[in-house]
Amino acid sequence: MPIGKSTILCIDPDPSAIWIERRFLRKSGYEVIGASNAHDGLSVLKVASVDAVVLHSQELLDSLLASVAMKQIRPEVRIVMVSDIELPEDAFEIVDARVNKATEPEVLLSTLQSLLSAALVLPFPERKTRCQTTTAAASDGVSLKISER
């Protein structure tokens, strides 16, 4: 269960997928905002306090460009890309985690919980300065960026 009420922005062109994610994440204690594309998601980020973004990727390059734009608007936002495409190592400078599309909702939830709890531990200025970054790929289809000081 999240500490406080974190807000998650779910971006997916499929309205039924947003509905399912919204329902699942709200049951887990999160506030959820839905957007049908990256452009609408960027508009939401400009006006709403969002802690994390779940970005369903159709095209890898478009999703990475959208992620860069999101970090320019809100550098502290955590981004989880939902994609069956393996991300290149340097993508984890932008995206905080990748989850396979076929992954169970509980895996997405635990990924969000890990990212958001890490954000609570490290204040924003310290998160920007990382000494070492490695990527851990788990058997459940999750890739997480792990920073060590």
Q: What pLDDT is attached to residue 21?
A: 92
138 and 107 Cβ atoms separated by less than 8 Å: no
37 and 45 Cβ atoms separated by less than 8 Å: no
Q: Which of 4, 8, 24 is nearest to 96 (CA)?
A: 8
Q: What is the CATH number of domain 7-148?
A: 3.40.50.2300
Q: Which of 39, 135, 138 is nearest to 91 (CA)?
A: 135
In three-state secondary structure terms, 9 is strand
**Using one digit for the tens of pLDDT, what is the confidence trace for 8-56?**
999 999 999 999 999 999 999 999 999 999 999 999 999 999 999 999 9
**Using one digit for the tens of pLDDT, what is the confidence trace for 93-142?**
999 999 998 888 899 999 999 999 886 554 444 443 332 233 344 444 55
- Spans of all domains in the chain: 7-148
